[in-house]
Amino acid sequence: MKETSDKKFPKTKIEAPSTISRRDALKQSAIAVAGTVGAAAVASSAAAQSASSSTSGSSNNMAGRKFRAWVHREMGEGITGGVEELTLLPIDGRQVVIRTEASQCCYSNVSMMLGAQGVTMANPGGAIILGHGGVGIVEAVGPQVRRVKVGDRVIVGVTPECSECYNCLRGRADRCYGTVDPLVIAQTSDGVDVVGDLNIGGHAELMVALEQSCVAVNSTHPPAELALLSCVSGTGLGMTMTLSPVTPGSIVAIFGAGPIGLSAVQGARLMGAAQIIVVEPISVRRELALQFGATSVFDPNVEGDQLVDQIRYLCQGESDSFYSGGRPRFGGRHLGPDLVIEAVGGDRFPPKLEVGPDPTGILPLQQAWDLCPAGSDLLTCGIGQDGNVSFPGGRWSNSSKNHLSSQFGGTHMKRDMPRYVSLIEAGLFDAESLVTSTYPLEGTADGHQATSDRTTVNSVIVMS
């Protein structure tokens, strides 16, 4: 069943203090200091940091800086966090202080942000700032930092790339070992230690990230759009352009049209896929998939048990003879997409829009496995599934299906992020239409609520 539409997902913007302009984004002063510091001190500090960065790479005089963040001191059922003023602690080693411009609301954070049943603090007795990366301007660097310097605009990704560890050197930077235990970066007004989630903590006026999570980008594009690359869009593009690059003229099937799936649709289009087939229960997201380049869309609630066969039918070729090298007709030996992508996962909370046939996320995984023919690639990235996928042992052991699971869609931060940014700047990747709601820092929980409800494609927290 193929659907067509011109409609766009309705945008929601919660008013926030205006962000910096594109023109001023990279011309802005290297250091934004508290109002009590005089102009001469600002100039002196900026010059000192610039000189230090160009020589020793060390620039660390921001300890004591006050900044606001959405902080959780405890986690339980319901929303338990809120905005607090924190005091920045000294940085060291490969730490980087970044003035946050925007950070996206990842669905994988909604359990902690909104308080799903059974969620507990990872650091009892302390406090945590959530947020899977974002974009901002570097304001200070530790003495070992070489990758970025004060004044750079950087994207902070959900998965680091150190370029030195075992996995990075094997071409699996999406599984970089360059992570460390959570580092205390700030204190609350009553002396409680604060860490950033994944050593990032994007929902704050300042991020303190590790150098290996940062990539400098020479771009003045709107930060809300660039922030998507830090997680969801970086994952979707990685699956189609890096983990298993789409070949021109191929057929791609994508389960799920959230921000990851919709980014994968665009990646498949950019790589020259002949057919892009999308499965998604929410009608507005199916419409967006068509806008981004999908050739066919299916509602799994309507197709039911016939879904896999319906997609297979679209994959049949023009010839009855498979010896010609083409794709055979229905009933031939090869019947199915060249690439099958699962970007669904399991529901943390019931969505407010159309509900899929299986909130556990197991059915889409099973269908993706069944749909993938011998010799084709099955890519999975969803999280939170509750249950087990089953298949005959013989088919698993010698069916020649290539299963590629990934973190961050296989994206390599240093290699891939600049080219993803170039796609946005050239108008080839439509990030603007994926940012369907923006919120100020005070609306962080609201942004995650909309993400959880599926009433938005992607919520972005935009700082003043």
Amino acid identity of residue 2, one-letter, is K
> Mean pLDDT across the stretch 78-82?
86
pLDDT for 57 beyond 60: no
pLDDT for 55 beyond 70: no
Residue with tokens 């509900």: 355
- 295 and 209 in a single domain? The answer is no
Question: What tokens does 286 get?
Answer: 């199916």
Contact 279, 269 (CB under 8 A): no
> Mean pLDDT across the stretch 389-407?
87
Question: Strand ranges (DSSP E) for 75-121?
Answer: 82-88, 95-104
| CATH at 308 | 3.40.50.720
Contact 293, 252 (CB under 8 A): no
pLDDT for 443 beyond 90: yes
Give one DSSP letter per residue of 177-229, joined into a string.
Answer: ----SPPEEEE-TT--EEEEGGGT--SBSEEEEEGGGEEE----S-HHHHGGG
Amino acid identity of residue 252, one-letter, is V
Contact 262, 292 (CB under 8 A): yes
- 321 and 418 in a single domain? The answer is no
Residue 24 has phi, psi (to 5 degrees) of -90, -10
> Mean pLDDT across the stretch 285-306?
97
Question: What tokens does 254 get?
Answer: 């994508």
What residues make up the domain containing 380?
232-409
pLDDT for 317 beyond 80: no
Q: Is 321 helix (H, G, I), strand (E, B) or coil?
A: coil
- 357 and 332 in a single domain? The answer is yes
Q: What pLDDT is recorded for position 358?
A: 95
Rounded to two decimals, the pTM is 0.85
Residue with tokens 């766009």: 8
To the nearest whole number, what is the mean pLDDT of the chain? 85
Q: Does some domain include residue 5? A: no
Contact 381, 214 (CB under 8 A): no
- Residue bearing the bigger pLDDT, 188 or 388: 188
Percent of the chain with pLDDT over 70: 83
| CATH at 108 | 3.90.180.10
pLDDT, tens digit (0-9, with 9 covering 90-100), for 319-363: 655 566 667 665 555 589 999 999 999 998 999 999 999 999 999
- Residue bearing the bigger pLDDT, 133 or 431: 431
- 401 and 444 in a single domain? The answer is no
Of 409, 433, 453, the last residue of a domain is: 409
Total of domains in the chain? 2
Residue with tokens 């998939």: 289
- 384 and 254 in a single domain? The answer is yes
